[in-house]
Amino acid sequence: MDNPFFMILFACTLVPSLKISVADDSMNVLNALSDGKTLVSKGGKFELGFFSPGGSHKRYLGIWYKNMPIQTVVWVANRANPINDSSGILTVNSTGNIVLIQNGSLVWYTNSLKQAKNPVVELLDSGNLVIRNEAETDPEEYLWQSFDHPSDTFLPGMKLGWDLRTGLERMLTAWKSPDDPSPGDVSRHVKLYSYPEIHIMKGTKTVFRFGPWNGLFYNGAPDLRNNTIFGFTFVSTKDEKYTIFSLTNSFAITRVVLNQSTTIYRYVWVEKDQNWGIYTSLPKDFCDTYGLCGAYGNCMPSETQVCQCLKGFSPKSPEAWVASGWSQGCVRNKPLSCKDKLTDGFVKLENLKVPDTKHTWLDENIGLKECKVKCLNCCSCVAYTNSDIRGGGSGCVMWFGDLIDMKQFETGGQYLYIRMPASELGHLYSHKNTARIVASTVAAICVVLLLSSYIICRIRRKNADKRKSEKENINLRTYDFSSISNATNRFSLNNKLGQGGFGPVYKGTLPDGQEIAVKRLSKTSKQGMDEFKTEVMLIAKLQHRNLVKLLGCSTQQDEKLLIYEFMPNRSLDYFIFNPTRCALLGWVKRFEIIDGIARGLLYLHQDSRLKIIHRDLKTSNVLLDNNMNPKISDFGMARIFELDKDELDTNKVVGTYGYIPPEYVVHGSFSVKSDIFSFGVIVLEIISGKKNRGFCDPHHSLNLLGHAWRLWIENRPMELVDDLVDNTVGPSEIIRYIHIGLLCVQQSPQDRPNISSILLMLNGEKLLPEPNQPGFYTGKDHSTIKDSSLRNIGVGSINEMSNSLLEAR
């Protein structure tokens, strides 16, 4: 009875199959919906039932517009699992879930985690299929809703984007074809960048970008301004980031559809024609092709040569540029001069689709003047503008790295201020020598004053931060030991999820129905109170969708308990090292997991207010949520770095065999590059489906890293690949990930890329250097190993080091 599928099917057998009339808009546990019967929303706008697309004999459960001459389906439940006859039955069980069965076999079901009391399924006039408690006082308090799980259609009132509290992503996925509702490889996502935006993607590649929301419209689609039919908005809070549209004309019928050709259409129902009319479609023209003109290239649809380098830039490859080979983009004619900020300025571009916002920084509380100063004082800032153009403009967004995917509009678009050396700005930035001298003198005086103020402020801030930290620790939610004991059934073995180095982890359920994971530190564990406080303090402060969320802790009855959000799909190693479960993670999902881990590391290393080294990154510490999105967990070994420090030494080396870099093992030196080494091991393990620790090449006595390196230098990298995984991506993509993994596990930490460079590599935006020999490689060629003390470390030797040197878990 512990199997959820068995429980759902068992509940189904208890439900009598009663007829539903076409007038009904809801059903409960006493009802069932068979093929041929439907639910109709109260106002008669939408209908739920079984249908067959085109001339197909396959049956799907879906929602379509009622009383239209053309059946227009807006949502499909069993997209990937059609029924082959008319024997499908839809029921709702006592746990508050919808279940679709065929001849006693489970076809599709919902997965509500909320407490159900007399659950009712209802089809709303918005086209939303919802499950709610019948006696619920709040009519919009749903146990589950189809709007959280869209198909290919975006309807008024539907949110597309992220619920950051639960990790739920609502995205569109195209039908494979007009007659096949199964998910294609084209999807529409809200990208959680600092300055969020919407991308249409084919597989893992962006094909079109809407541009960010600027307060009035999506910057890359100025034609979609609010009008007499519909209005858009974008909501961005700490809990949610999503786009939504509403009807300004209550009589209008409109929908947005994404298709497999990577085109997104806005349809409006034309009553006199009794047909759908296309209001607009995107991409609109050739210049909407993502990244067409490369870095610093501006696409101009009205020009014969559509790609033009920005002023002050020239084609990186003039020969290719003439032949319309624009992908290499443009480079600066003259470099920026960060040493003397007076020699840099900005050129203003108008009516522009602003660049890809992946590498941006956003501050909504300052204006354009402060934004300019901040950008000028940051050597890596290359452009800035307002984040909100309403009322003369407000907010500040700055770009770092190459500027990609710009387009010139005749009207609409936005201003962008691009950083340039003074020699490219003409007379506007020609300074007289006298002015230079005066400015330099004033600047020198200011530096002295600022330095004095800085020293005083830093002393005060350290004391304030210490007090604030103590306050934050006290304010973290604490739980009674008895309540956690009851939630885990007294830490029953049946509730045990796994065993970590510091103690077991249990699944629990709180009285309000919330599922939790409880880490119970063993009393004989080497994680003492200091490590416990470290983990509590770090995770309480860290908030990112690729980091596990700490809910609270308990220190009663001489126990140390950490209470986390529950990850239903356990850990990454549970899947990739199992010969059966590994097939559930296809290449696209594996690449997404690698990308998610990298984003979590970017937050730890660079984007959070602390600089944190995890020190125990491994597959068992990467947890997977409902949608198989990765979350880094277990911060008991983590260390906080001062922002101006890059490396620390320790006499106590901690971590896990197989993931620890050589410089840490031998010298006790750790840095952000230590986490990069661990990340590289994870990448190679994900690609190969094999553990680094315990793997041994039978012919060469190599560990997984050495085996991968040998295959690489022998030009046979695809032999590393897990052959149990689908073949939906090309070899070049897989080889790129192997290449990145080898770059991360190089012997010398200086050779390993930083995490921001890795993210560029993962997205195909950076040329990859050739890797050097990996750490702990035991082949014949040791020429690239820089530390002679490591040359004799063989496979398994690291496991034999004394416990006084290595306290691995």
- CA pair distance 764, 529, nearest whole angstrom: 44
Going by C-alpha positions, the residue among 533, 586, 534 that lies closest to residue 555 is 533
Phi-psi region of 570 (alpha: psi -120 to 50; beta: other; left: phi over 0): left
| Cβ-based neighbours of 610, under 8 Å, separated by 6 or more | 538, 541, 542, 640
Q: Which pairs from 339-342 meet CB under 8 Å and 24+ separation?
A: 341/376, 341/377, 342/422, 342/431, 342/436, 342/439
- CA pair distance 568, 570, nearest whole angstrom: 6
CA angle (216 as vertex; 214, 219 as ends), nearest 5:
45
Going by C-alpha positions, the residue among 163, 145, 164 that lies closest to residue 155 is 145
Cβ atoms 765, 404 nearer than 8 A: yes
Q: Cα separations (Å) of 744 from 77, 593, 599, 604?
A: 42, 17, 15, 17
Alpha helices (H) along 335-393: 368-376
Phi-psi region of 636 (alpha: psi -120 to 50; beta: other; left: phi over 0): alpha
DSSP states along 435-468: HHHHHHHHHHHHHHHHHHHHHHHHHHHHHHHHHH
What's the distance, CA 385 to chain centroid? 25
Cβ atoms 534, 486 nearer than 8 A: no
C-beta atoms surrounding 681 within 10 Å: 30
Residue with tokens 């005060």: 460
Phi, psi dihedral angles at 760 (to 5 degrees): -65, -40
Cβ atoms 277, 390 nearer than 8 A: no
> Can you tell me whether residue 402 is helix, strand or coil?
coil
Cβ atoms 787, 747 nearer than 8 A: yes
CA angle (784 as vertex; 782, 788 as ends), nearest 5:
65
Q: Cα separations (Å) of 527 from 172, 501, 521, 653?
A: 45, 9, 8, 14
- Please count the residues of the chain: 809
* Residues linked to residue 106 through DSSP beta bridges, in sequence order: 101
Q: Which is the catalytic residue, given 616, 625, 675, 722?
A: 616
> Can you tell me whether residue 248 is helix, strand or coil?
coil
Residue with tokens 């786009």: 243
- CA pair distance 503, 523, nearest whole angstrom: 8
Q: Is 340 a catalytic residue?
A: no
- CA pair distance 741, 795, nearest whole angstrom: 19
Cβ atoms 281, 221 nearer than 8 A: no
When computed from its CA atoms, the radius of gyration of the chain, rounded to whole angstroms, is 29
- Per-residue burial over 541-577, b if 16 or more Cβ lie within 10 Å, else e, is bbebbbbbbbbbbbbeeeebbbbbbbbebbbbbbbbb
- CA pair distance 21, 33, nearest whole angstrom: 9
Q: Is 425 exposed, middle or buried (0-12, 13-18, 19+ CB in 10 A)?
A: middle
C-beta atoms surrounding 399 within 10 Å: 27
Give the catalytic positions in this structure.
616
